[in-house]
Amino acid sequence: MLYIVATPIGNLDEITLRALEVLKSVDLIAAEDTRHTAVLLAKYGISTRTVAYHKFNERAALDSLTARLKAGENIALVSDAGMPAVSDPGHIIIDAAIENGIEFTVVSGACAAVNAAVLSGLDTRTFTVLGFLPEKSIDRRRFVEPYVKLPSTLVFYSSVHDIKKDLTFLYETFGARRVAVCREMTKKFETVVRGRLGDELDIIEKGEFVVVVEGASAESELNALDVEEHIRHYLDAGLEQKDAIKKVAADRRVAKSEIYAAAVAMKEREE
């Protein structure tokens, strides 16, 4: 049997009794980082042998693990945190288990995407987990293009090295949508910063991040107006220019810079 075991995303006390029992009883634990997993095992007095199974050796380690499963051994797969196969190694060995008729099951537990979706305060009736953005700009654009008009809340993972770049990209792509940036979930210094893409968000650049972005909404009736008429609508309603620009950008799901240029041109003509 192959066990796909969820492990804590931060606080090590958040592990299920079943997960502990499985980790104690299996013949082998395949871990994304054996040193990282050793901390969890030591806390609970678990001495099961571990081997490395990460994105750089998934295929190289696959034959050996599959052979052991076929021979009747029980193996637990764990990632550094959360649910294996969700933006972590796991899909390849699961595919192999299916192809070889090997039984496998999931041992429930934490998933950072689920925690973040709930913490965000955004609509969780439907949400789509997109994981980490590709590195190259052209790949990023191609990756997110199918989701720009999706009404589902979108969940992205981001590292400390990429968080600013990722937020800028998401703003340029989705406009001034509502966003929640979650950090250090379940830990002592858990933080959730809520606002809109394009805002100056007060983010501590430490740890790992989950970014939750509002889904596309039905087009505002105001979007039938041209941009200047749209801006004028909010100015006539008593908003300051900067607030009118922000509202129009949010309605149209575009960057505030696009609306700002139109507002400046409009003001210059009026003067």
- Examine the domain organization and report whether 194 and 118 are in the same domain: yes
Q: What is the mean pLDDT of the chain?
A: 92
Q: How many CB atoms lie under 10 A from the CB of residue 239?
A: 16
| Nearest residue to 209 via CA among 134, 152, 135, 131 | 131
Q: Which of 107, 134, 162 is the last residue of a domain?
A: 107
Short-list 217, 234, 216, CA closest to 225: 234
pTM: 0.80
Q: How far apart are CA 172 and CA 198, in angstroms?
A: 8
Same domain for 195 and 119: yes
Number of residues in the chain = 271
Amino acid at 1: M
Q: Are residues 83 and 44 in the same domain?
A: yes
Where residue 226 falls among pLDDT bands split at 50, 70, 90? confident
Confidence grade of residue 169 (pLDDT, cut at 50, 70, 90): very high
Q: Are residues 133 and 225 in the same domain?
A: no
Give me the pLDDT at residue 221, please.
64
Q: What are phi and psi of 132, to 5 degrees?
A: -80, 140
Of the residues 197, 213, 229, which one is the last residue of a structural domain? 213
DSSP code per residue over 100-135: TT--EEEE----HHHHHHHHH-S--SSEEEEEEPPS
The count of structural domains within the chain is 3
C-alpha 193/C-alpha 204 separation (Å) is 10
Last residue of a domain, one of 182, 197, 213: 213
Terminal alpha carbon distance of the chain: 75
pLDDT at 222: 73
Gap between the Cα atoms of 237 and 229, Å rounded: 12
DSSP state of 31: E
Rounded Cα distance, 123 and 213, in Å: 10
Asked if the model's pLDDT at residue 253 lies above 80, the reply is no
Which of 265, 267, 223, 266 shows the shortest CA–CA distance to 248? 223
226 shares a domain with 178: no
Percent of the chain scored above 90 by pLDDT? 72
Residues 38 and 135 in one domain: no
- Residue 63's pLDDT band, with cuts at 50, 70 and 90, is very high
Region 81-93: mean pLDDT is 95
Same domain, 136 and 93: no
Which residues constitute the domain of residue 252? 221-270
Same domain, 14 and 101: yes
Assign residue 82 the CATH number of its domain: 3.40.1010.10
Whether 31 contacts 37, CB under 8 Å = yes
* Interval 173-200: pLDDT, tens: 888 889 999 999 999 999 999 999 988 8
Looking up residue 189, the CATH number of its domain turns out to be 3.30.950.10
C-beta of residue 1 within 8 angstroms of C-beta of residue 104: yes
Closest CA to 79 of 3, 148, 154, 141: 3
Residues 159 and 177 in one domain: yes
pLDDT of residue 219: 58
- Please tell me whether residues 97 and 127 are part of one structural domain: no
